[in-house]
Amino acid sequence: MSEPTDLTRDEYTEYIYDLTCFGKPVSPETADDVAEGIKRALELDERPAFLEGLAERLTELGTPCSPLDTDTMLVEMRSRYKSVLGIACPRAVIEWVRGTTPGVTNRRNNYELCYALVMDFQQTAVFFQKHFLTLPWCCKSRIDAVFLYCLYHKKPYSAAAEMLKQSQGFVPQENANTSTSRIFQTILETDNDEEFLRYLSAHCYGSEQQFMLAKKLICEELDDLKDSIKNDGRHENISPERLNSLTVAELLGYRYQLDTKGKPVNELPKRFTESLPNDVTLGRIINGQSVSYELLRKTLMLLKLYNFYTAAGQTDDRNEIAKNLMDFHDEVNNALISCGFAQIYLRHPFDCLLMYCANSSDQILTMHLLNERN
C-alpha cells in the first residue's frame, strides 16, 4: 500500500496510527507482511520531519515555503539568526536546512533554532518531539536547564546566552540526590535569574547522573527477562557478559549480533537501527554509566514488548490482539511518562515498527524477523 500524498501533516499522523494499530494483524510467517511493515517505516524515515516543521513555522511567520524550498528557508534562517539572536547561523543548522538529519548531541543548536523561530515554551517542546524526534528539557543538563528556564519565563535569547556563559564553570554533582521532576518543577517556579543560577550550580549533573529512573526501570525489566533465561534449563552458571548477549538476542533476535560480513544491505530505516542495545551498551546501563536518551528509550520499549507479550501469550484472535495492543500501548506510555521521555509517536520509525509488531499474532517473533533484515 502506497502512502497518501495529499494529506495534511496531522491527517497523515492519524492515517499511520490507524494503519499500524487498527489494521489487519500481522502474520509473522508471511514474508509480505514483514516487508510491508518495513516499507511503511522506511517511508516515514524518508520524510523530512525537520524540514516539514521548519517550513510550517516559517510559513506561520510570514515566509511561505514548502519542505522543498531549501534555498528560501536558508536565506530566512540566516537572516533570523542575525536579527533575532545576533549571531551567525551555525554550520550545523545550515546543513540541516540543506537536508542533513539534525543532530541532538550539541543541544544548544536545537534550542537556538527554536529561539530564532520565535517559539515559546510549548512550541519548542512540540518541535523537539515531532521534528527533531528527541526529548526536550533534559533539565539535569546545564544547557537544557538554562533554556528551560529562559523559554518558560519568556526571557530573551541574550539572557540565555549570558547564563550559559556564567554557568560554564559549574562543577557537575557526583551524586544525583534530587529527582528530575523536582528539578523541573523548581525551575518552573523560579523567576529570578540570580536565584536560578544558584540553584543550577547546586543541581548541575554529569551525564552519568542523567535518566536515573529510566535506568532503574530498565534494570527491573531486565531482571524479569534474565530470570526466564536462567530458568529455562539451558543456561546454568552463565557469566554476566554472556547473559547480556543472550538478553539482546531475546529482544532482537539471535542473528542481530552476528558477524555482518556477507550480509545483505540493511533494509531497515536508520532511525530504527541507530541506538539499539547490544551487550556492551546493556552493560553500561546496568552499571549506571553514561548512555544516550535514544538508547534508553528504545531499550525500555523493547523490554516492555518482550515482557508484556511473554506474559500475555500468543493468540490469533483479532479482538484479543487489539485489546492487548491498547493495554501494551498504555503500559509503555505510562513508563515513558514516568521517566520524562517522549510518549509513543507513530511517525517515528522505531515507534511505528514497535507497534507494528504489537499488532501481530506473535509479537516477539515479528520483532526478530524485522531484525533479520538489519
Cell of 247: 538478553
Task: Identify any residues that bridge with 173 across adjacent strands, giving them in sequence order.
Answer: 205
pLDDT value of residue 254? 66
Contact 299, 275 (CB under 8 A): no
Contact 107, 144 (CB under 8 A): yes
Distance CA 118, CA 103 (A): 21
pLDDT value of residue 256? 55
Which strand (E) or helix (H) includes residue 181? helix 180-189
Distance CA 315, CA 200 (A): 51
pLDDT value of residue 40? 85
Cβ neighbourhood burial of 232 (10 Å; 0-12, 13-18, 19+): exposed
Contact 23, 37 (CB under 8 A): no
pLDDT value of residue 264? 47
Distance CA 243, CA 226 (A): 7
Please, which residues have CB within 8 angstroms of residue 75's CB and are 6 or more apart in sequence? none
Distance CA 278, CA 276 (A): 7
pLDDT value of residue 242? 83
pLDDT value of residue 81? 98
Per-position pLDDT tens, the chain of length 374:
445 555 455 665 565 556 666 677 777 766 677 888 888 888 888 889 999 999 999 999 999 999 999 999 999 999 999 999 999 999 999 999 999 999 888 999 999 999 999 999 999 999 999 999 988 999 989 999 999 999 999 999 999 999 999 999 998 887 667 888 899 999 999 999 999 999 999 998 887 788 888 999 999 999 999 988 887 766 667 777 788 889 999 999 866 555 555 454 458 888 899 999 999 999 999 998 989 999 999 999 999 999 999 999 888 899 999 999 999 999 999 999 888 888 899 889 999 999 999 999 999 999 998 888 76
Sole residue written with cell 497523515: 12
